[in-house]
Amino acid sequence: MRKTRGILITAMTWVLVLMFFFPIGWMVFTSLKSEGDAALIPPRFIADLSFDQYAIVFERGMGAYLLNSLTASVGSTILVLLLAIPAAYGLSIRPIKKVKDVLFFFISTRFLPAAASILPVFFILKSVGALDNITAMTFLYAAMNLPIAVWMMRSFFNEVPLEIVEAAQIDGANLRTELVRVVLPILLPGIAAVALICFIFSWNEYFLATLLTTFQARTTPPFLASFVDGRGQFLAVLSAAATIAVLPVIIAGWAAQKQLVRGLAMGAVK
């Protein structure tokens, strides 16, 4: 009796999970169909599959947009790490006064909607000719992700046993060796997690990319809509483009599952 109930709950769980996942699975399946099959109703669950749509996606120049996304995401992630690791260290292991105020400041910039700064940013970039510039996007994404990175990084630093740091200091290690030789190796998993989260948010960003880029520096999210074709069928090719666009982040997210929750909760939840 009890066992039957368990099996029923498991079955229900799986049905619900698969329903939830269905749009993504269907997107991948559609991307492998021909345009004609993709638009059939009732839908075909068995069809000839091929990677033809993917070839079309790249023929339409998606590569350049993916490269822009990659540049801005990786560049901003590196910049964020360079700023956030020392800052988090200063806020955790090396006690400074007003830690709380500084943390509040960082988190408040995260809560500031992009709406608050988009107009000046637009006009400043326009006046210096940096609209549609991937370096500008890199810096903006770094600013967007810095607060999460500082908070998350600090929660990892807080787990480094003070004794280890103190032992290193007694050995006469100066600040840099202390940071690089002793603390950093312990933190590598944490740093990887922070990097993944920053990468995910930059890669998926749409608002700034739509408004501040046109062609040269256009990233993948705003480019995707160009696969919607008012005249012909486009479901399969759109699905292929979307699949390529979401794949890097999904893989990164799956790999960093355990750390994901912590980053999303800014270090408040493990």
Partner 1 sequence: MTTLTPPPTMPTAATPAATGGRPATRPRNAPQRKKARQARALVLPALIFSVVMTQIPFLTTIYFSTLQWNQLRPDEIAFNWFKNYAVVFTGPDFLPSLMSTVIITGSSVVLSLLLGLFFAILLDRKFVGQGLARTLMITPFLVMPAAAALIWKWSMLDVNVGMVNWALNTVGLPSVAWNTDLPIVTIIMLLTWQYTPFMMLILLAGLQSQSREVLEAASVDGAGPWRTFQWMTLPHLRQYIEIATLLGSIMLLQAFDPIAIMTKGTGGTKTLSYLLYERAFIGLDVGQAAAFGVVTVVVTIAVATFALRTLFKVFINGGER
Site string for partner 1, 187-226 (x = CB under 8 A): -------------x--xx-xx--xx--------xxx-xx-
Are 153 and 191 in contact, with CB atoms under 8 Å apart? yes
> Which among 51-59, 60-68, 151-159, 180-188 is the span making contact with partner 1, rule CB under 8 A?
151-159
Angle between helices 184-204 and 257-264 (to 10 degrees): 70
Can you tell me which of 8, 36, 43, 59 binds partner 1, judged by CB under 8 A? 43
Q: How far is the CB of 50 from partner 1 (least distance, A)?
A: 18
* Residue (of 78, 94, 88) closest to 153 by Cα position: 88
Are 145 and 114 in contact, with CB atoms under 8 Å apart? no
Can you tell me which of 107, 164, 168, 186 binds partner 1, judged by CB under 8 A? 107
Residue 109 lies near partner 1 (rule: CB under 8 A): yes
Determine the Cα–Cα distance for residues 6 and 1; give it in Å rounded to an integer: 9
The identity of residue 264, as a single letter, is L
Site for partner 1, residues 155 to 194, rule: CB under 8 A: 155, 158-159, 162, 175
- Rg value, the chain, Cα: 23
Determine the Cα–Cα distance for residues 70 and 81; give it in Å rounded to an integer: 16
Chain-centroid distance of CA 96 in Å reads 31
Residue 137 lies near partner 1 (rule: CB under 8 A): no
Q: Would you say 53 or 203 has its CB closer to partner 1? A: 203
Determine the Cα–Cα distance for residues 237 and 134; give it in Å rounded to an integer: 26
Q: How far is the CB of 49 from partner 1 (least distance, A)?
A: 17
Can you tell me which of 78, 102, 164, 173 binds partner 1, judged by CB under 8 A? 102
Can you tell me which of 67, 128, 192, 268 binds partner 1, judged by CB under 8 A? 268
Number of residues that bind partner 1 (CB under 8 A): 109
Q: How far is the CB of 48 from partner 1 (least distance, A)?
A: 18
Q: Indicate the DSSP class of residue 229.
A: -
